[in-house]
Chain A
Amino acid sequence: MTQKIATRDAYGDALVNLGKKRSDVVVLDADLSGSTKTSKFAKAFPDRFFNIGIAEQDMMGTAAGLAVGGKLPFASTFAVFATGRAWEQVRQSICYPNLNVKIVASHAGVTVGEDGGSHQSVEDIAVMRVIPNMTVIVPADGIETMQAIEAAAEMKGPCYVRVGRNKVPVIFGPDYRFAIGKAHVFHEGKDAAIIACGLMTAEALAARELLAAEGINAGVINMASIKPLDRDAVVAAARQCGAVVTAEEHSIIGGLGGAVAEALAEEAPVPMVRVGMKDVFGTSGTGEGLLKHYGLSAADIAAAVKEVIKKKKSA
């Protein structure tokens, strides 16, 4: 049976590892440290952890100041608050001065589940991606999250990393190495390429199996680095398969699907279908139930692949 780890748990562990290696790492949270798993760092390094209370805007500004003071701050809260409530602070106090602040937001997407639409961030990738100087990473599993946090710490400048609440399958081996700006090709395909991020990469891999049973060869590419996007990988997949499906636990507007569409339109126009939240808010339910409800399951991706192949044939 596949091992499952929540990417937020991996984040908590990665922070502790980083804290051991680097004395300049500091962590901020806005009263959600138990949920974002920054509590692990808080326990290990209480002097370097700052709970700012329920004040996300102040947290982002404080993180900016810690970076001015030579620290490497990681600021965490739920994705909807980190990128929504504090968007302008992220823009003005972090990205405009190009400060070395890492924002790692948890409980992204609909798999927050029961808390409902108010807490389900389906716009965060879009609103972070649009800010100049910002790097955006959406890791697919625990292994990639650990790697992404290391990479974020190594790079200079603002970085947004999106992690989730629920346990998701571990799809990478221990030797996997994530690099900012680089996609990971799980499978090259022939009929269509699925480009996915976050927990949707595991769904995409399952979709590939479903399609294989019907004689369809779908490639699977994990695109954790949404910005900078690995345009070469997108273009290569488009040229190889002639059709692209994107899959993300986010609005189909402005996120991975948007970024891939931009790249394709400019460099290798091919038929495309976006799997994601279709310009709607979420609702209460179980994480798994919501993925099915909003058409974000492996079966939905498989259906999107068939649709895009039809488009390709009629093009």
Chain B
Amino acid sequence: MAATETQLKDLGEKARRMRIDILKMLHGCGSGHTGGSLSSTDIVTALYFYKMKYDPKNPGWDGRDHFVLSKGHAAPMLYAALAHAGYFEQAELCTLRKLGSRLQGHPDSKNLPGVEISTGSLGQGLSVANGIALARRLDKGQNRVYALLGDGELQEGQIWEAAMTAAHYKLDNLCALVDNNGLQIDGPVAKVMNVEPITDKWRAFGWEVMDIDGHSIAALCDALDRAETVKGKPVCIVCRTVKGKGCSLFEGKVEFHGTTPSNEELETALKELAEGACI
């Protein structure tokens, strides 16, 4: 099965609307991670609105696929996806990072339905995804497990412990996606602590590796479809992305890793995103 033209058009529109939500959310609270939320928006759009099975009315549904946001600082992007998926009202998005909100600065699974596991301390999500995949396999479930990692996050040693474990246990119900936007807080990943060659590393660890344009929803849908057909090993989809994607002001700008748009920046960004609307 492949995504149809209509599907792809709808997914593009969904991603555009999510980007608007993300920017408004971040602008509203004045802190949070803009760049990495926007770079991974298309990836998560393909997951939540093309590939994954879930039931927002029954978040613990046994038949669901699991999503682990290992790069937990992209929480605004996850919240936008969950709201669009129907886990909660979109109005709640404006409570991001506020006292009493379920939308914590980094995802908190105790309080927000749809969040599988609390994340935020980098490097830990893939291990958790492995555990879920092992549990589902023990139950002979058809569920699939997806983990989204940052490229800077690959500097954490635990990622590679988990990469070994997933291959050792032949977790073919697991798919990791790397948001390879090339930037981290202190600068370009290549400069801070080079993680390349990323694809060779995952291959050497025993994974099936795909290398795609992380902003092509067609490529993402296709890769996610192909990942399901791989047997006997886990799949890593390295998604080549642009930090801050969708708004020229933020694209490729390291300073927008952990800062939020000003009034003027928001206005410009929303204008650009409005022009990209598929009407």
Identify the A interface with B (CB < 8 A): 26, 47-48, 50, 52-53, 55, 57-71, 73, 88-89, 92-93, 96-98
Question: Chain B's nearest CB lies how many Å from the CB of A63?
Answer: 6
B90 on interface, CB distance cutoff 8 Å? no
Contact B121 A88 (CB under 8 A): yes
Complex interface: chain A residues within 8 A of B124 (CB) = 57, 61, 89, 92-93
Stretch touching chain A among B162-170, B187-195, B238-246, B250-258 = B162-170
- Contact count band on B: 20 to 34
Inter-chain contact total with CB atoms closer than 8 Å: 113
Nearest CB in chain A to that of B137: its residue: A69
Interface residues of chain A: helix, strand, loop or mixed (majority): helix
From B110, B120, B135, B158, give the contact of A65 (CB < 8 A). B135
Complex interface: chain B residues within 8 A of A89 (CB) = 124, 127, 158
Most buried by A among B66, B110, B117, B129: B117
> How far, in whole Å, are A68 and B133 apart by their CA atoms in the complex?
10
B85 on interface, CB distance cutoff 8 Å? no
> How far, in whole Å, are A20 and B129 apart by their CA atoms in the complex?
27
> How far, in whole Å, are A53 and B130 apart by their CA atoms in the complex?
14
Across the A-B interface, the 4 shortest Cβ-Cβ residue pairs: A65-B131, A69-B135, A61-B127, A58-B161
> How far, in whole Å, are A97 and B118 apart by their CA atoms in the complex?
6
Would A58 and B165 be within 8 Å (CB), given that A48-B138, A69-B131 are in contact? yes
Question: Chain B's nearest CB lies how many Å from the CB of A269?
Answer: 36
Contact B128 A93 (CB under 8 A): yes
Contact B162 A61 (CB under 8 A): yes
Contact B66 A58 (CB under 8 A): no
> How far, in whole Å, are A130 and B121 apart by their CA atoms in the complex?
19
Nearest CB in chain B to that of A98: its residue: B110
B139 on interface, CB distance cutoff 8 Å? yes
> How far, in whole Å, are A67 and B165 apart by their CA atoms in the complex?
17
Contact B131 A66 (CB under 8 A): yes
Complex interface: chain A residues within 8 A of B164 (CB) = 53, 55, 58
Contact B110 A58 (CB under 8 A): no
From A26, A55, A57, A63, give the contact of B138 (CB < 8 A). A26
From B118, B131, B157, give the contact of A67 (CB < 8 A). B131
Complex interface: chain A residues within 8 A of B134 (CB) = 26, 50, 62, 65-66, 69
